[in-house]
Amino acid sequence: MAFLGSVVRRVASALRSPIPLLCRTNPRTYSSEHTKEKSVPYEKTLRQEDGAIFGPTKPLPRSADVVVIGGGSLGCQTIYHLAKMGISNAVLLERDRLTAGTTWHTAGLLWQLRPSDVEVELLAHTRNVISKDLEEETGLHTGWIQNGGLFIASNKQRLDEYKRLMSLGKVYGIESHVLSPAETKDLYPLMNVDDLYGTLYVPKDGTMDPAGTCTTLSRAATTRGAMVIENCPVTGIQVKTDDFGVKRVKAVETPHGTIETPCVVNCAGVWATKLGEMAGVKVPLIAMHHAYVVTERIEGIQNMPNVRDHDASVYLRLQGDALSVGGYEQNPIFWEEVSDKFAFSLFDLDWDVFMQHIEGAINRVPVLEQTGIKSTVCGPESFTADHKPLMGEAPEVRGFFLGCGFNSAGMMLGGGCGRELAHWIIHGRPEKDMYGYDIRRFHSSLTDNKRWIRERSHESYAKNYSVVFPFDEPLASRNMRKDPFHQVQCPLQIPNHSISSGILTEEGCVFQERHGWERPGWFNKDGPAPVKDYDYYGAYGIRTNINYKYNELLGKEYTFNFPPHHDVIKSECLSCRHGVVVFNMSYFGKFYLTGPDAKKAADWLFTADVNKKPGSTVYTCMLNRRGGAEADLTVSRLEPGAANLPLAPESDGDAYYLAVGGGVAEHNWNHIRSVIQDRGFRCQLTDHSEDMGMISIQGPKSREVLQEVLDSDLSNNAFPFSTHKVVSAAGHQVRAMRLSFVGELGWELHIPRDACIPVYRAVMAAGAKHGIINSGYRAIDSLSIEKGYRHWHADLRPDDTPLEAGLGFTCKLRSSIPFQGRERLEKQKEEGLKRHIVCFTIDEKIPMFGLEAVFRNGVPVGHLRRADYGFFIDKTISYGYIRHPDGGVVSSDFIKTGDFTLERMGVTYKATAHLKSPFDPENKRVKGIYS
């Protein structure tokens, strides 16, 4: 018998050779062949023990409304929810038996609390389906065991994170308790609590049985008319091009026949990339070995909760009278050659890699040192660049949906994601805000970049158990997309002024990564902090980056208090409020909408009336069919004329310039394109994001600075707010827009790429005597929340309507012009709002970041979406959506008459609710009125 303690000592003393590659290929380490003697911690699987079955288990239909491919957790949940929503002509195809891929060996844990409101809701639905719904529908027990969950904190920051989860859980009615080390010992007597700071106990967490769950899901789905066919591999996806040049799914090919279908759902897990290739769809995931061991019997472990010791990167799953022990290491093994023959199979466990989990487990539960190992389980799992699933309709092919890349969390997220995916397929959009899982969150230039997929997936895997801090940034695959201002040589010399080149890297810019772009976060006073190539955290024999200033600055930001660079952000913000600053916003998406039906498309796409006279710029939203905000953006009406690219497209009719947030540009692009296709509009959408830079000059002195640079009258009468024109700057043509996202007088300059540096230098030279500085997005976040401007996917999401978000002014409801989502808004306006965004301030100098619970008269009514510090009013400002506890209308009186408190890490703070922005509520400053 092998004991865990002896394994640690044996491996620790073994001589190890360096690992020259990013994966181990020595057959001594693992095998891709079936390892039939290994066992998993379940009483049964769906594996056929009486020999193989040749051919499909049912005859294939000639056609289907939907074909789901893959019989794991997500495939079974998706077919179940499709059938439950009324799609009876749906088919699930599994190449082997249900659960044969990765689902059969999963640990099956379900934790209810995560640092995301949407994920909490998804997990709650999974739990309801597994613990209640399926048994009521079928009379079958799924194998759900409610033994509770225990999160371990070995330091204050970790416990602070758990307290944040506890506060969020109160909004959703999830019971949780922060326990002292002594209380933890009472709950879990076998645990070592000497090094604990505290724990978070969630009594209604539990575990799921993959075979029992998938069997019951398939039974419930087939009862409603769906068809589940096993032993039927897919060999091809037929794609057709329609009369408008749009690629669409046509059929699914198998060795046993072809099924005509307009919709395919890729739930193939590790094999999803290969399935995507059949249709010309990029699926950015990578396969890795993921392992756990199952112990022999442990006296006294019975009925104990499951444990996650995040700081040791280990979990302990109760398995009857034993434990399953696993975790996430910094040197996972990549599965380089994914085999189609790998079914109900496992790899040999590499103890060199796995040893770190054993050490952490023994420290937490010391009795494990003398406990034997019953079995090892090492199987393939699929992982993604941000440790989030891949879902939604693929940009390349209409009707091809993704439901894969679940990062070993497919069982716990399966129910919620299966329901959202079914709703997505049937209604064109999910019910919840699924942008964080939507394949369109990644730019198309990245989704087939092997370096990006590999590096990002590795970092996300290695950091899976890390504390989720507000200002974290990835280190992997940086500098993928850089704008012209990022870094150039030749310093700028300005006589009699102590200003350097102004080019961002040299100016100490601490960059943030968004959509592959490097954008300015804030400016370090101690000189440059460039981002280096990824070092895999020293794994695989790669030398760790030394003297890495960027990483050091990032590490200092790891706090739930005010970050150490709080005063730097303050300086940037107040420079904007009192003087003038330059924001580099070049990462913005920049699209042109032209063609015979451009006006029709604009009327339907945009909530606001963008058909003002040429030269106008309008802030607007785009909605989905349910009235939810898919985007907010500015739309500028252009003069017809000959092409002057990239500043103006060729057009003999209506033409529009769209400026969209750079982090969501791919999502916006695909939303517009899909609407154009679905409505049959004859128009073109062209992308010039890479061809232009964009700087925003903001502050009371911005007009004085720019009047020296631009050959145009910038007075209020000559250049009013929300207008644009092509002007000359430093001898180059640029498009100037009088806009602000920070609530000050200011202009944006949209500049052809080759002209960016000379125009920028001219601006900095003109601004030197006014004290102009560079500023970053951390300042924009603060300034914009102080002014009450919305951030898409924070204050404004696809599950929020403009009316709920306080953006009714962007909607042309007084006109008769139809637009997508209008009917929902009209109905909502008539019935009254059942939820509404509210601004809160607190008097205490306490930081908040979002997810804090909101209480009205002591009753939880919502949570914060976004929070930041407003340096001009010197208060913490936050925004959150609140509901009426009785489900009634959230009126102004309901807000005015409530006593509000905000809970941060278990501590409540009295809050003031505001119906208008606490800063410049009359909107004078953007009009240049300073008094």
What are the CA-CA distances from residue 417 to residues 134, 430, 624 (Å)?
A: 16, 9, 19
Identify the H or E element spanning 552. Answer: helix 549-556
Are 586 and 694 in contact by the 8 Å Cβ rule? The answer is yes
Are 392 and 401 in contact by the 8 Å Cβ rule? The answer is yes
The pLDDT of residue 436 is 97
Per DSSP, 809 falls in state G
Res 756 pLDDT > 90:
yes
Task: Identify which of 419, 69, 427 has the alpha carbon closest to the alpha carbon of residue 251.
Answer: 69
CA separation for the pair 785, 771 (Å, rounded): 24
Where is average pLDDT lowest: 488-502, 544-558, 850-864, 875-889?
488-502
Res 634 pLDDT > 90:
yes
Task: Identify which of 76, 430, 79, 447 has the alpha carbon closest to the alpha carbon of residue 263.
Answer: 79
Task: Identify which of 30, 583, 8, 40 has the alpha carbon closest to the alpha carbon of residue 294.
Answer: 40
Task: Identify which of 143, 686, 87 has the alpha carbon closest to the alpha carbon of residue 401.
Answer: 87
CA separation for the pair 35, 43 (Å, rounded): 18
Q: What percent of the chain has pLDDT over 90?
A: 91
Helix ranges (H only) for 852-910 are: 892-896
pLDDT 10s digits, 789-817: 999 999 999 999 999 999 999 999 999 99
pLDDT 10s digits, 164-214: 999 999 999 999 999 999 999 999 999 999 999 999 999 999 999 999 999
The DSSP string of 764-798 is HHHHGGGT-EEE-HHHHHHHHHHHT---BTTTB-T
- The contacts of residue 717 (CB under 8 Å, 6+ apart) are none
Token pair for residue 210?
């993959």
Query: Helix, strand or coil for residue 105?
Result: helix
CA separation for the pair 712, 736 (Å, rounded): 10
The pLDDT of residue 466 is 95
90-99 average pLDDT score:
97
The pLDDT of residue 20 is 27
pTM of the model as a whole:
0.94
309-317 average pLDDT score:
95
The pLDDT mean for the chain works out to: 93
Half-sphere exposure of 117 (CA within 13 A, CB side): 22
The pLDDT of residue 931 is 82
Token pair for residue 619?
């802030």
Res 124 pLDDT > 50:
yes
φ and ψ at residue 899, rounded to 5 degrees: -100, 110
Dihedral of the alpha carbons of 602, 605, 606, 610, in degrees to the nearest 10: 0
The pLDDT of residue 576 is 98
pLDDT 10s digits, 705-741: 999 999 999 999 999 999 999 999 999 999 999 999 9
For tokens 């989990």, name the residue.
357
54 pLDDT band, cuts 50/70/90, is confident
The pLDDT of residue 46 is 56
Peptide bond into 491 cis (omega under 30): no
> What is the amino acid identity at position 157?
Q
Query: Helix, strand or coil for residue 449?
Result: coil
Are 572 and 773 in contact by the 8 Å Cβ rule? The answer is yes
Strands 617-623, 629-637: pairing is: antiparallel
Strands 236-241, 227-229: pairing is: unpaired
pLDDT 10s digits, 19-51: 222 232 233 233 333 334 445 655 555 555 444
Per DSSP, 758 falls in state H
Instruction: Count how many residues are written for the chain.
Output: 931
Token pair for residue 731?
């001898």
First to last CA, the chain: 82
Res 304 pLDDT > 60:
yes
Res 773 pLDDT > 80:
yes
The pLDDT of residue 503 is 80
Q: Any bridge partners for residue 288, and if so which?
A: 334, 381
Per DSSP, 342 falls in state -
Per-state percent for the chain, helix, strand, coil, to nearest 5: 30, 25, 45
pLDDT 10s digits, 358-404: 999 999 999 999 999 999 999 999 999 999 999 999 999 999 999 99
The 3-class SS string of 146-186 reads: CCCEEEEECCHHHHHHHHHHHHHHHHCCCCCEEECHHHHHH
State the Cα angle at 43 between 38 and 44, rounded to 5°: 80
φ and ψ at residue 448, rounded to 5 degrees: -120, 20
Are 305 and 152 in contact by the 8 Å Cβ rule? The answer is no
Half-sphere exposure of 634 (CA within 13 A, CB side): 21
What are the CA-CA distances from residue 805 to residues 168, 513, 619, 660, 801 (Å)?
A: 21, 27, 14, 18, 6
Q: Which residues of 446-470 are buried (b: 16+ CB within 10 A; e: fewer)?
A: bbebeebbbbbbbbbbbbbbbbebb
